[in-house]
Structure 1
Amino acid sequence: MHIFLDLPGRTVALLALVSLLAGLVDAIVGGGGLVQLPFLLAVLPGLGTATPLGINKAVSALGNISSAAVYWRRNPGTRLNRQLLAWSGTVAVLCAMAGALLASGLPIGLFRPIVIVVLVAILWLVVRGRLARPAAAAAPSSTPGASSAGASSAGASSPGGGVNLPLAASSGMIGLYDGIIGPAAGSFLLLSHQRILRRSLVDSLGTAKVIQCCMNIGGAAVLISRGPTSWPLIALLGVANIAGSAIGARLTLRGGDVFVRAVLVLAVLATVGKLAHDQWL
Structure 2
Amino acid sequence: MVSGLEDVTLATIALVVVAGLAAGWVDAVVGGGGLIQLPALLLVPGISPVQALATNKMGSIFGTTTSAVTYYRRAHPDLRTALPMAVIALAGSFGGAVIAASLPSSVFKPVIVVALVAVAVFTATKPTVGELTQLRHTGRRHYGTAAGIGLVIGFYDGLIGPGTGSFLIIAMVTLLGYNFLAASAKAKIVNMATNLGALAFFLPHGSLLWGLGLVLGFANMIGGYLGARMAVKQGSKFIRIVFLVVVAALIVKLGHDVWVENIRG
TM-score, normalization by structure 1: 0.66
Q: CA deviation at 1:179?
A: 0.4
Paired position in structure 1 for 2:57: 57
User: In structure 1, what is the Cα distance between the partners aligned to 2:111 and 2:226?
Assistant: 27
Q: CA deviation at 1:169?
A: 3.5
Give the conservation status (yes or no) of the 8 Å contact 1:159–1:197: no
Paired position in structure 1 for 2:208: 229
Give the conservation status (yes or no) of the 8 Å contact 2:3–2:212: yes
User: In structure 2, what is the Cα distance between the partners aligned to 1:231 and 1:15?
Assistant: 14
User: In structure 2, what is the Cα distance between the partners aligned to 1:125 and 1:5?
Assistant: 41
C-alpha change, 1:202 and 1:8, in structure 2 (3 Å) is closer
User: In structure 2, what is the Cα distance between the partners aligned to 1:129 and 1:192?
Assistant: 12
Give the conservation status (yes or no) of the 8 Å contact 1:68–1:206: yes
User: In structure 2, what is the Cα distance between the partners aligned to 1:117 and 1:15?
Assistant: 29
Q: CA deviation at 1:188?
A: 1.5
User: In structure 2, what is the Cα distance between the partners aligned to 1:197 and 1:219?
Assistant: 25
Q: CA deviation at 1:63?
A: 0.8
User: In structure 2, what is the Cα distance between the partners aligned to 1:249 and 1:206?
Assistant: 8
C-alpha change, 1:243 and 1:204, in structure 2 (3 Å) is closer
Number of residue pairs matched by the alignment: 247
Asked whether 1:80 is paired with 2:79, we answer yes
Calculate the aligned-residue CA RMSD, in Å. 4.3
Matching of residues 6-45 of structure 1 within 5 Å:
6-9=6-9, 10-28=11-29, 30-43=31-44
C-alpha change, 1:115 and 1:25, in structure 2 (3 Å) is farther
Q: CA deviation at 1:251?
A: 7.3
Larger radius of gyration: 1
TM-score, normalization by structure 2: 0.70
User: In structure 1, what is the Cα distance between the partners aligned to 2:229 and 2:26?
Assistant: 12
Paired position in structure 1 for 2:87: 90
Give the conservation status (yes or no) of the 8 Å contact 2:61–2:196: yes
1:202-238 per-residue CA deviation (whole Å, 9 max, x = no partner) reads: 5544444322211111111211222332222111101
Gaps of 5+ in 2: none
1:222-280 per-residue CA deviation (whole Å, 9 max, x = no partner) reads: 1122233222211110111122334556777798x78xx59x95xx86xx79xx69x96
Gaps of 5+ in 1: 132-136, 142-149
1:155-191 per-residue CA deviation (whole Å, 9 max, x = no partner) reads: x83334x685554443322111100122221222233
User: In structure 1, what is the Cα distance between the partners aligned to 2:150 and 2:54?
Assistant: 21
C-alpha change, 1:89 and 1:239, in structure 2 (3 Å) is closer
